[in-house]
Amino acid sequence: MANLGIPANTIEILQKYKFNFQKKFGQNFLIDTHVLDKIIASAGVGKEDCVLEIGPGIGTMTQYLAENAREVFAVEIDKTLIPILEDTLSEYENVTIINQDILKVDINRIAEEKNHGQPIKVVANLPYYITTPIIMNLFENQVPLESITVMVQKEVADRMQVGPGTKDYGALSLAVQYYAKPEIVANVPPNCFMPRPNVGSAVIRLTKYEIPPVKVIDEKFMFALIRASFNQRRKTLVNGLVNAGNLGIEKEDIISALEKMELPATVRGEALTLEQFAGLSNLLRCI
């Protein structure tokens, strides 16, 4: 099968199957061989790897993955793409296509059955409308992962990478940085896709930590604190946490924990580092 990274080959397949793009599925197919090469190289895909691809589309990146990996599992929600994928990937015996919503797939089972529970690599040009739930599900469900290398909206890639004191810093930054080391490896303009998205894109690699960089007694509680403090960004951290109402902590206890950490009672959540959120969470959990 011809390389679908070349625009003329993608157009031929789309016409052959009279394919209609579905906006609701975030369908923007890659048509740039340099970007595809860059993604495969950044993900470090090799012959020993079991790779999960989310949203293979017509199979453009899947072809590259199949050439480089030991085994590829490609999960595609749009059933009209399945006959196309069976055609474009027919020569690869190491690809399994799964017609399902990625948020409903038991990825732990795939890793268990197909990779002996060893860490898999996730590589994808993600549907932008569900980037955050996809990434958070992978981390929170404790999927055995080596890395996640994905194309996302540029602004979302920035949010994953930044630290305190910037407008992009928030709950997503802290969650990603608790589980993984983020690195933006390429910025990708709209003309590398068909159809062109209205936003800039970036490829980001999240290399999973074997042990998180901070010690937390109760992860769920720390993330509840983080969410509560960014839900009310303009309020002080103390008021944000008290107003959340569901954390079961007293105002005085928060102020006293902040004092122990040498932080002013007027500090805002957006000023705290991951280490400080972990510290605060541990102090409040020990009361």
Nearer to ligand SAM, 129 or 209 (CB): 129
- x-or-dash pattern for ligand SAM, window 36-75, by CB under 6 A? ------------------xxxx--xx-------------x
If one asks whether residue 76 binds ligand SAM (CB under 6 A), the answer comes out as: yes
Which position among 13, 19, 29, 205 is part of the footprint of ligand SAM (CB under 6 A)? 29
If one asks whether residue 92 binds ligand SAM (CB under 6 A), the answer comes out as: no
- CA distances 55 to 74, 124, 217, 247, 252, Å, are 7, 7, 36, 37, 48
Least CB distance to ligand SAM at residue 78 (A): 4
Least CB distance to ligand SAM at residue 30 (A): 4
If one asks whether residue 25 binds ligand SAM (CB under 6 A), the answer comes out as: yes
Of 24-32, 85-93, 218-226, 250-258, the segment contacting ligand SAM by CB under 6 A is: 24-32
Q: What angle do CA 144, 126, 110 make, to 5 degrees?
A: 30
* Distance, CA of 94 to CA of 111 (rounded, Å): 15
If one asks whether residue 125 binds ligand SAM (CB under 6 A), the answer comes out as: yes
If one asks whether residue 106 binds ligand SAM (CB under 6 A), the answer comes out as: no
If one asks whether residue 5 binds ligand SAM (CB under 6 A), the answer comes out as: no
Cβ neighbour number for residue 41 with a 10 Å cutoff: 13
Helices 154-161 and 171-179 meet at what angle, rounded to 10? 70
- CA distances 133 to 71, 75, 130, 138, Å, are 25, 15, 6, 9
Nearer to ligand SAM, 69 or 272 (CB): 69
**H, E, C per residue of 186-247:** EEECHHHEECCCCCCEEEEEEEECCCCCCCCCCHHHHHHHHHHHHHCCCCCHHHHHHHHCCC
Count of residues touching ligand SAM (by CB under 6 A): 23
If one asks whether residue 30 binds ligand SAM (CB under 6 A), the answer comes out as: yes
* Distance, CA of 184 to CA of 161 (rounded, Å): 8
| Span 244-263, contacts to ligand SAM by CB under 6 A | none
- Structure tokens belonging to residue 260: 């122990």
Least CB distance to ligand SAM at residue 26 (A): 5
* Distance, CA of 17 to CA of 15 (rounded, Å): 5
If one asks whether residue 217 binds ligand SAM (CB under 6 A), the answer comes out as: no
Least CB distance to ligand SAM at residue 126 (A): 6
Nearer to ligand SAM, 130 or 180 (CB): 130
* Distance, CA of 282 to CA of 262 (rounded, Å): 15
- x-or-dash pattern for ligand SAM, window 127-166, by CB under 6 A? x--x------------------------------------
Helices 274-285 and 219-231 meet at what angle, rounded to 10? 120
Of 88-96, 98-106, 159-167, 205-213, the segment contacting ligand SAM by CB under 6 A is: 98-106
- Structure tokens belonging to residue 61: 């990146």
Q: Which residues here bind ligand SAM, judged by CB under 6 A?
A: 25-30, 54-57, 60-61, 75-78, 81, 101-103, 125, 127, 130
